[in-house]
Chains A and B, each alone.
Chain A
């Protein structure tokens, strides 16, 4: 099955700084790479995703980059704000008989200090 590692496990930044979280996966058949944000008491919220035919995608302050050869993808948050504080999960998925099920990383606790 898929093995997913996410680093760092905790990340503390000052407001306005950038934050980068990296996710490494093992299954070369993975073709869908989402990032989720989870706030306390809430379910995971999809914030950005990328497919295997694209190397980078950006949505305002959030971007995702994919390196399929090295089997890793990263979340980039620029101009961080206190409301960005949450737990972030990567969750790569494959096609075919995996039926799109997500395999989650261990999570990164991001704290943005005002």
Chain B
């Protein structure tokens, strides 16, 4: 299995630009999670989906952030407009079947100048 796939791995953009992060979960997994990791705040859950439906988005920082899961094999996290304080590593993780643990992707390192 290829594991959780995230793209791009690195993104550098300027303040005000739209940023779209992508995630392909492990095939057969029915739950998907988006996290943000920073030195100051550690690992934060932004949103999670179950069967493509958003279940808990209480961690989404503000309206500039949005996430979608149009089908079981793809999800996006969009930031519009981006700000320097959004600079972080964004992780996607999936969970499914009778497994108990989440499987993490390699992350996208976002730098907003």
A and B are interacting partners:
no
Chain B interface residues toward A at CB < 8 A:
none
